[in-house]
Chain A
Amino acid sequence: MTDTNNSPVGSSWNSDKFMAGLAKRKRSERRFRLIGLAAILTALTLLAILLFSIFSKGYTAFVQTYITLDITFAESVIDKDGTRDPDAIRNANYAKLVQDALRAKFPEVEGRRNLRTLFSLVSNNASDTLRDMVEQDPGLIGKTVEIPLLAGDDVDMVNKGYIDRDLAEENRRVKDQELRWLDILEEEGDLSLHFNTNFFTQGDSREPEKAGIAGAMVGSFYTLLITMAIAFPLGVMTAIYLEEFAPPSKFNDLIEVNINNLAAVPSIVFGLLGLAIFLNVAHLPRSAPIVGGLTLALMTLPTIIIAARAAIRAVPDSIRQAALGLGASKQQAAFHHVLPLSMPGILTGTIIGLAQALGETAPLLMIGMVAFIADIPGGINDPATVMPVQIFLWADSPERAFVEKTSGAIMVLLAFLITMNALAVLLRKKFERRW
């Protein structure tokens, strides 16, 4: 060995002991990297499985089966007197038109029970469709037109292949007779899949083929609007006060600890708080976005405060000093300089807090937003539900067709969440400032 050991104590750079230590360090680093890689791969695989299972089940929710029938707009049914009176047209029995068309298609069907089964192939929403058509264009009366009508949920399930035909008939929801009719319709090209606009324009319904997520989307929108209007200004003001103005004291330390604790409180507890205060004390309307928004605001507040404080703290002191040195008051320094500079960070935190609120279910169950509401809410005081609760409700429904609705609603919710998070990342990237 060459004598390169200049230092009087310790082992030299090329001693065996040093080399062994070096090899050990390298091994441990390699091991750590492998573990990290494995962890990421596991997470990605699980995410892929989750997304695949949702998408594979859910994408069919965006199309819906329609049955094309030759509808005869018989004057004898719609407008017996021939007056074209709008009231008469509105109150006519359009279901009969559909039933007549179905009977014409399958003339061999007889008997009350069989007929009822036959009529159930088409959704009861069909008569509304026909009424709308005639009201818009009374000239249709007396004509026969080929019209695709929304099929019942069982037909839809069969058409999408979700009903197992090999199952014994008594275990099957759709009986052999209906399958036969459907096969005939299929052969004649009368079954078709259309984009499911109802899903995005209608409220909830007991009939899966008519159920839509619009009511829940509007409910979520109003709820988040309230949440943002309350939690954002309150949270930002609190953060500014605590960071810029509050003198350090035991009391402020206590506040800080409590805010951090609040961020970790289970959301259902906020639901109970909302129930106790907003419903039982303030007597605000039950199931309404105003109460949901207030409750979620309580839940989101700590998240926003913590994010805003971090963003405010990241603004270098030199900026405050520059402003104060020019004779700006503390408030001017905070509002003219610190706040605008920390806004991107605050907005990022706020969006993430709101995304959390958007996905929240538990506290809303407590304040009655879990009710079945078919109407699209028209304001913050109307009964409403929100998207995650709608998912919860549909997942609870027995009809097979609600399974795909559930997955479809999850996809819509995920799309919203991803959009919001992407917006947060974009904001951060765009306004990121290095000091």
Chain B
Amino acid sequence: MQIQQIDEQQAARQGDAAEMIIKTRDVDVFYGDNQALKHVSLDIPKHQITSLIGPSGCGKSTYLRCINRMNDTVDGCRVEGEILLDGVNIYGPEVDEVLLRARVGMVFQKPNPFPKSIYDNIAYGPRIHGLAANKDELDEIVLTSLEKAGLIKEVQDRLHSSGTGLSGGQQQRLCIARALAVRPDIILMDEPCSALDPIATAKVEELIDELKENYTIIIVTHSMQQAARISQKTAFFHLGEIVEAGDTEKLFTSPSDERTQGYITGRFG
């Protein structure tokens, strides 16, 4: 009897652990007259990895860029619907997109370190947000970010050499470290491994897997193997709509929609 109760409590706690940090309700995105997303509703669980897959132009990157309002910087882009982050609509009038982007970090397709030193690359975010009170704190943030990104061993002797001098995989991990330095809750990754070789990809994937302990990660990928390897949840986009979303394992083994089946088995896309 007692044991059963404990099991129930645990189950409830696990339910808590899988609380939804982002709730998307009926989001439409337009680029001018062109509708890129149609009635997208998707929940993102906290501290898990969610993959967004789908053929090119299906709207998965557009969706990703809605979450930190990077679409605001695109001329003629209009977002309708609600995206709730911890229950607050991020498109609401009281939300500052600059602060939002500090909370929702982003890693891009092509590694894009600033042409500055490795140290300055990571210190930039904390500096503009005033996260470090003094030089020592800043040093600490830089070092822990590098450590979390698994880059510290490779670069600790050359923190003040240029970030663009690193290899592609190292640059991408530097970009991840840079995103971590502003202490985000969520990290968006837009095909972070598409410009990397398999070895660098493996390292980045390993890193992403470690990061899910403390961060919620949403990753757009063209590689279905990658989605299957690293993510717990997967959403399949097609022509601006979510066709199917759910547990990665289920989606890849027994998809309920024909189009998902077709895409993951390589018949189209």
Contacts and interface: CB of A to CB of B under 8 A. Distances in A.
Chain A at the B interface: mostly helix, strand, loop or mixed?
A: helix
Interface in A376-434: 433
B34 to A, nearest CB: 16
Contacts of A326: 101-102, 105, 124-125, 128, 178-179, 182
Interface string A295-331: 0000000000000000000001011111111111110
A321 B115 contact: no
A247 B73 CA distance: 10
Interface in B92-129: 98-102, 105-106, 108, 110, 112-115, 124-125, 128-129
Contacts of A322: 108, 112-114, 175, 178
A323 B98 CA distance: 11
A324 B112 contact: no
A319 B128 contact: no
Contacts of B125: 326-327
Interface residues of B, number: 25
Interface residues on A, range: 20 to 34
Contacts of A325: 68, 70, 101, 105-106, 108, 179
Interface string B168-189: 0000000100110010000000
Contact of A321 (B105, B108, B179): B108
B129 A341 contact: no
A11 interface: no
A116 interface: no
Interface in B57-78: 68, 70, 73, 75
Question: Could you tell me the dominant secondary structure of chain B's interface residues?
Answer: helix
B161 to A, nearest CB: 16
A231 to B, nearest CB: 28
Contacts of A328: 98, 124, 128
A327 B101 contact: yes
A379 to B, nearest CB: 41
Between A320, A324, A325, the greatest number of chain B beta carbons within 10 A of the residue's beta carbon is seen for: A325
A337 interface: yes
A325 B112 CA distance: 11
A336 to B, nearest CB: 7
Q: Which of B73, B99, B105, B178 has the most CB of A within 10 A?
A: B73
A407 B20 CA distance: 81
30 contacts: A247-B75, A248-B75, A318-B108, A318-B110, A318-B112, A319-B112, A319-B115, A321-B73, A321-B108, A322-B108, A322-B113, A323-B114, A323-B124, A324-B73, A324-B101, A326-B101, A326-B105, A326-B124, A326-B125, A326-B128, A326-B179, A327-B99, A327-B100, A327-B101, A327-B125, A327-B128, A327-B129, A328-B124, A336-B124, A337-B114
B72 to A, nearest CB: 9
Given A247-B75, A321-B70, A329 B108 contact: no
